[in-house]
Structure 1
């Protein structure tokens, strides 16, 4: 007797519904995320990639303290319709980064490395999705490649001084006087405890925050030499604020389609930073959510629906 496939036998016995088989079929044809490395000078960049390369590209840039892992649900939701690349910035995630004396850990240099990555990958046009530190890297990329950026999605990625919330107080003191004393005063910033605080602060329902993200990043920041690298980047964040006028000029001149999805209780980037885009891009779309800095950790379903609608209307 000819054997039946397992799904056929289950269907014949009434054990599997049509819906279940449909879901199984969809999963079978869904693109699989690929995990890879790309050598860029002395940085071996880890990145996640999914989707057809002839589909519109979405480049995802995470912030502190995160990695490309933060985009996992968005990547999965966009996989069927877009070519998605989410990378780990130097000094983050699984990217193999040089020692402090062998690489200049500044935002300008991070952007140069990512720009070379873009060229090596042959990306001629792309939308950018940014968060936190990923934002000033993304804005620098846009200044370098204004004709390549098709749209911008910002999840608590700032470009206006109005958006700098009270959490920046001690850091601004460090900017004004980068003494050993002021640096030491921020020694708890690159620690596992501080990272967990950033994930949970401003979140009404902590049961929605998975421990995976902050645990992984806490382990990473605990590696030898990593605390000093993170304090170097924190000091250099001043350069991003100084360049805000240049980024805003880009927004005014090129009017990229822009979506801001914002956790309104973020201790670092306040809602005023998102609202400020309306001055330069009147058609900017601004959405606020009842959560903190890592809005995707608690509101990924709602935010993904907004992102998909935005991309369908603006990225062909």
Structure 2
């Protein structure tokens, strides 16, 4: 069992938002029902665990700059989903690429690691995976950080009109999937609307585009894009869960995101009126541009949450 204790006043206090450590970062693989799952781990193992769930078409690598800024006080687990990053990518004939199955696999990883209490950081695809796990095991969630991970229809940007047509008949709209996985779209998810394009490393989108062109990836990603319709159908259930459970929540939203527009941040406040909400001058992958700000907000939020827990 995970018996990690929250930070207390006896712990060393922070010296500022620049406090950072990568000395504990390690890389691992676990086998979950025959599928190899890669994950990054950092921080003291007796500290509260933060599970970082990445977006499309990224991997746990998207957290490379964030992990050292949290690892001085928190235990971090950042997995790659099957079909992403360094995890196995069996063909769809051998592994069902649905968000239900990805959530089941990541939950299996956490159970195998004997982590039964954790906070989540959800970004993009991490949202539907994390919400499925939270609804199945609400008692395991401690706090929630949401960064451009959607659960409200009003946040769906203009491009989703074409994607909904693709869901209705994928064979009739193959150009939608082609555009979704194109080089231009892969780059646009990072720097598309930001006025600070010089802050974005081209390594991010060139590496992601290379990943999207690995053998078998078109079939895997087409299956997941088609299954994304089940997430939209589940939004109402996720919203009801939030209204009922009222988890402590920090909402971070890159205002330049055109996949999940900024209305999504405000929508969370309807369900979680006590949530902290911050609009950032960043895009869909807000860590590209605002990692220091995000780390500072997370450390402040998580420190306060776990200190309250220690006092109760």
Partner of residue 264 from structure 1, selected from 255, 260, 263: 255
Distance of aligned partners of 1:140 and 1:29 in 2 relative to their CA distance in 1, 3 Å threshold: closer
Q: CA deviation at 1:192?
A: 3.2
1:18-75 deviation per Cα after TM superposition (whole angstroms, max 9, x unaligned): xxxxxxxx99986420011011113211110011221000000001121111111221
Superposed CA RMSD in Å reads 1.9
Paired residues, what number?
A: 291
CA distance in 2, matches of 1:70, 1:156: 14
CA distance in 1, matches of 2:216, 2:60: 21
CA distance in 1, matches of 2:201, 2:31: 31
Partner of residue 292 from structure 2, selected from 296, 301, 306: 301
1:128 aligned onto 2:102: no
1:191 aligned onto 2:200: no
For structure 1, the 5+ residue unaligned runs are 1-25
2:8 alignment counterpart: none
TM-score, length-normalised on structure 2?
0.89
CA distance in 1, matches of 2:217, 2:29: 21
2:96 alignment counterpart: 104
1:253-281 deviation per Cα after TM superposition (whole angstroms, max 9, x unaligned): 11111111111111110111111111111
TM-score, length-normalised on structure 1?
0.88
1:178 aligned onto 2:178: no
Distance of aligned partners of 1:29 and 1:196 in 2 relative to their CA distance in 1, 3 Å threshold: closer
Distance of aligned partners of 1:192 and 1:95 in 2 relative to their CA distance in 1, 3 Å threshold: farther
For structure 2, the 5+ residue unaligned runs are 1-17, 308-312
1:225 aligned onto 2:225: no
2:48 alignment counterpart: 56
- Which is greater in Rg? 1
Q: CA deviation at 1:188?
A: 2.7
Partner of residue 228 from structure 2, selected from 230, 237, 241: 237
Q: CA deviation at 1:205?
A: 1.1
Kindly indicate whether the alpha-carbon contact (under 8 Å) linking 1:60 and 1:86 is maintained by their aligned counterparts in 2: yes
